[in-house]
Amino acid sequence: MGTCMLAAGLAEAGVKNGVSPLKPVPSPAQLAWHDMEMYAFIHFTINTFTGKEWGYGDEKPELFNPSDFNADEIVKTLADAGFKGVVLTCKHHDGFCLWPTKTTRHSVAASPWKQGKGDVVKEISRACKKYGVRFGIYLSPWDRNAPSYGTPEYIKMYREQLKELSTGYGPVFLAWFDGANGGDGYYGGTREKRSIDRSTYYDWKTTWGGTEETAARSGDFFRRGAGRPLGGERKRLCGLSLLGHVHPRSAASRDGTRARHRALPVGHGRHRGRQVLDSRGSGCFHPSGLVLA
């Protein structure tokens, strides 16, 4: 935060005294990103009921039937602990959607939870509004359930899911994507391995564009790229310098290391590092413990 204040001060000094600021200078949106300080990542989904970290895509929706889910309790606890935002895993690699999407039957609508009328995304987003916590979404690009994954039809489906999430649940401060793309999966019953070119398949410029245009109207909005979010994830370590002069194209790099460590918030030129801290080296909520990021 001190770096931001210094850079902002230099920018102001440049206007008054004719001194050029030391670039890159943070934008107001990037300063707001720093002010977030700490937010939580909630990964509660069908994997909670299978004990898996990554679902294969063949999990039956009937498995999702939480008995004591309480969005208010979850979000209030996070707010009381000082978290300023919550990012919900709306769909992980298994393809199960925590909202009644129109794009697939593989969702809470096909589960026995609340007689198929439940909506985890709605309940978490409403609780965020109630307790003054900003709401964000995670939507896995890889979908091991979708029969169309690997074809242009899936991209249409994926963009529709993004549209549903960014327009149906109030302001979204962050959209988070993932670098796990392609591999073996259920894919509608074919049970095969599918590979995609992650640098071109999703056409991120177009895919991100619609979400940003919609969400940015409500205030500061950020995205995390197609690579793994950066900085010693699950190792409780951060690099000495996470102030990278990088371009969003690096998020789609074929270089796995660079993609992992340089996923980006929206904007150009100056990007903040982010450190993930979890308790067990696992990303999904299982009865044995809770993970916060």
Is residue 14 pLDDT above 90, yes or no? no
Answer whether 266's CB lies under 8 Å from 276's CB.
no
Which three-class secondary structure string do you get for 148-185? CCCCHHHHHHHHHHHHHHHHHCCCCCEEECCCCCCEEE
Q: Note the pLDDT of residue 255.
A: 39
pLDDT tens digits for range 224-275: 554 433 333 334 344 444 444 344 444 444 433 333 333 334 344 444 555 4
Distance of CA 221 to the CA centre of its chain: 12
Which candidate, 218, 202, 213, 197, places its Cα nearest to that of 266?
A: 213
The predicted model gives 197-209 an average pLDDT of 89
Q: pTM of the prediction?
A: 0.75
The pLDDT score that the predictor gives to residue 19 is 81
The conformational region for residue 58 under phi > 0 = left, psi -120 to 50 = alpha, else beta, is alpha
Distances (CA, A) of 134 to 89, 164, 218, 219: 15, 18, 11, 11
More confident site: 26 or 234: 26
d(CA 155, CA 153): 5
* Token pair for 60: 């039956």
Task: Give the CA dihedral 89, 93, 98, 100, nearest 10 degrees.
Answer: 140
